[in-house]
Structure 1
Amino acid sequence: MVKNIRKLIEQVAKEKDLPERVVEYALKNAIAIAIKKDKRIRDNLDIEFTDEGIKVYIVRRKGKSKERFPLDISTEDVNRIAAYAAKEEFLSELERAERERGFLEYKELEGEIVTGIVRKVHENGDILVDLGKVEAVLPRREQIPGETYHVGDRLKALLIEVKKQHGEPRLILSRTHPLFLKRLLETEIPEVAEKEIEIKAVARIPGERAKVAVYAKDMKMDPVGIVVGLRGSRIQPISEELHGEKIDVVRWTEDEEEFIRRALSPAKPTAIRLIPEEERAEVAVPQDQLSLAIGKRGTNVKLAHRLTGWHIDVMSEEDFERLTELRESESGE
């Protein structure tokens, strides 16, 4: 019997392209389930394949440890039930083992880009995506506003979470996460993939606008020009992948004042005052650039804040001067 089981494990492992230990684990589970059903046992069972035959043990927990007791069952019964389990229970256990392997494979891909096919669009807007071996969900909250999806569409997204729910693998995708944009840049820009250019920070308002801070150790390199490409040839396909999201690329610097200045592009600040204890910066721009610096619905200043980590108060040059004079008069009292 055991020799036949070993042959079965080898054969199935080869056919299913699974490790033998995974197939053996699935078969042991199938036999344990079948014995529990046949003998109406509620306790957990351990199954062992030995030269003497199949050994069955009842497993009971005692505090933090567990104890095993041989189950009083005849060899004939074990062989009969095992033969039945190999036919009836084994396939479902094997499917579960294959799903488990899929879970472990995709767990390693957490934080990476995956590509799949849209299989279903739920009424609540969530999308079921077929990744090949497993299915994933692109929740509505992780979709770029304005995008529409249909069954059969090919979809690219960031795998942000792989977890188990009721024993089944559950994969969550995102197209709105800042890391999705970073991974796209790493995929599409060779100099980023080869680490000649480093992505220091990414900030997004999905579907509207994003800001990316880039840095090159080689001071002769122009990281902004390389990432953007000639007439935007490199950044444009990435923007199109993100439903037309406008992407500003700025050069990162350790000089925080200068970094804030660059982050507020296309506006051109004329003065910046840092208040480190509050992690706040007061920024002066010409009156005619005030709306440009703030951006539509505050987009530009919000993204500059997320990119730099500084709270940014944008004001006209006149208001900046008045505030400076007020502070000086207060300090002089």
Structure 2
Amino acid sequence: MVKNLRRLIEQVAKEKNLPEWLVERALRNSIALAVKKSQKIREDVEVQLEDDHIKAYLVRRSKDQTIKLPIDIEPADMDRIAAYAAKEEFLKELERAEEERSYLEFVELEGEIVVGIVRKVQEDGDLLVDLGKVMGVLPKKEQIPKEHYKVGDRLRALLLEVRKRRGKYEIILSRTHPRFLKKLLEAEVPEIKEGYIKVEAIAREPGERAKVLVSSTDSRMDPVGVVVGVRGSKIAPITEELSGERIDVIKKSDSVEELIKRSLAPAPVSAVRLFPEEKRAEVAVPKEKLSLAIGKGGVNVRLASKITGWRIDVYSEEDFEKLTKMT
């Protein structure tokens, strides 16, 4: 009987283009369900396919151990159970296995950009996105705040995670994750994929502003110029994709003082005072550029702090001088 089941596994795996282990698991699950029905068992049942017979076990779990008790099944009953399982429950389990295979294929795409069509806007704002073989979810918190979608819209997003929840697989998408911006940069700037330009860090406030720290492996190559492109030709499509998100590209520096100055672009910085023990910096800018340095709602200085890893306090040049005299 088991030999026949083995042949069935091989045949179905070939026909459905599924791995044999997935087909075997579906068959074992269907037989386990048939055993439970035939013997009116409510607890978990585990099935093993061995050399020339099928073994079934009652599985009891406690906090610190799992006990497996053999289930006594007459050979004639086992034949009937196996036949029933193969005909009835196996088809249902096989459908689940095919669905799982489709989701598992997307595991390899974690961290990559995928394209899909919005099929449903849920009441909580989450989007169900058709990715072809499967559906993905773009949660409200992973959407750029100023964006609004309707059924039929085409969108690009980062495949953030393939996870299993309550026995079902879910594909979680994101348009707010820093890696989404990084993958967009890789698509627009070949030098990043080729290794000439390295993206050192990214800080984002989705839809508002982002700062990208870059370096070059070739001293003759200006990483900022390469990433931005002639007249912004490479960065402009990314800003458009991100609903107007302003992107500041910053060249890495081994000097903390210089890095902090660059991170506050587009505001000019006239002086920096470091407090290494607190990993804090006080920065002076012209009074008329103070609002530019801080940014709307503090976004510019907040992102500068994230990209440098230093807390940055911004002052006008006059207030900076007063603080200097007090210390």
Bucket of the pairwise TM-score, normalised by the shorter protein: over 0.9
Q: Which amino acid counterpart does residue 65 of structure 2 have in structure 1?
A: K
Using the TM superposition, give the Cα deviation of residue 134 of structure 1 relative to its aligned residue in structure 2, in angstroms: 2.9
- Structure 1 match to 2:113: 113
* Structure 1 residues 243-322: aligned runs within 5 Å: 243-322=243-322
Render the CA deviation track for 1:132-178: whole Å, top value 9, x for unaligned. Answer: 33322111111112212122222211222332211111232211111
Render the CA deviation track for 1:62-105: whole Å, top value 9, x for unaligned. Answer: 86354442x32222221222222112111221222233334444
- Structure 2 match to 1:34: 34
- Structure 2 match to 1:98: 98
**What are the ranges of 5 or more consecutive residues in structure 2 without an aligned counterpart?**
none
| Partner-residue secondary structure (3-state), 1:158 | strand
Quote the Cα distance in structure 2 between the aligned partners of 1:140 and 1:183: 21
* Structure 1 residues 210-225: aligned runs within 5 Å: 210-225=210-225
- Structure 2 match to 1:331: none
- Structure 2 match to 1:2: 2
Render the CA deviation track for 1:11-65: whole Å, top value 9, x for unaligned. Answer: 2212221111110111011011011112112343333334534333434558635
Using the TM superposition, give the Cα deviation of residue 189 of structure 1 relative to its aligned residue in structure 2, in angstroms: 1.6
TM-score by length of 2: 0.93
| Partner-residue secondary structure (3-state), 1:277 | coil
Q: 1:57 to 1:216 in 2, by over 3 A?
A: same
- Structure 2 match to 1:64: 65
* Structure 1 residues 120-199: aligned runs within 5 Å: 120-199=120-199
Residue pair 2:195, 2:217 contacting (<8 A) in 1 also = no
> When the two structures are aligned, how many residues end up with a matched partner?
326
Q: CA RMSD in A?
A: 2.0
Q: 1:65 to 1:208 in 2, by over 3 A?
A: closer
Q: 1:50 to 1:204 in 2, by over 3 A?
A: closer
Q: 1:312 to 1:48 in 2, by over 3 A?
A: closer
Q: What is the percent sequence identity of the aligned residues?
A: 62
Quote the Cα distance in structure 2 between the aligned partners of 1:146 and 1:58: 54
Quick check: 1:22 aligned with 2:17? Answer: no
Q: Which amino acid counterpart does residue 204 of structure 2 have in structure 1?
A: R
More displaced 10-residue stretch of structure 1: 195-204 or 47-56: 47-56
Q: 1:296 to 1:61 in 2, by over 3 A?
A: closer
TM-score by length of 1: 0.91
Render the CA deviation track for 1:265-286: whole Å, top value 9, x for unaligned. Answer: 1111111111111211111111
Q: 1:72 to 1:254 in 2, by over 3 A?
A: same
| Partner-residue secondary structure (3-state), 1:119 | strand
| Partner-residue secondary structure (3-state), 2:277 | helix
Using the TM superposition, give the Cα deviation of residue 108 of structure 1 relative to its aligned residue in structure 2, in angstroms: 4.2
**What are the ranges of 5 or more consecutive residues in structure 1 without an aligned counterpart?**
328-333
- Structure 1 match to 2:11: 11
Q: Which amino acid counterpart does residue 159 of structure 1 have in structure 2?
A: L
Using the TM superposition, give the Cα deviation of residue 319 of structure 1 relative to its aligned residue in structure 2, in angstroms: 1.2
Render the CA deviation track for 1:115-148: whole Å, top value 9, x for unaligned. Answer: 2221110122110112233322111111112212
Quote the Cα distance in structure 1 between the aligned partners of 2:59 and 2:265: 66
Q: Which amino acid counterpart does residue 191 of structure 1 have in structure 2?
A: E
More displaced 10-residue stretch of structure 1: 293-302 or 264-273: 293-302
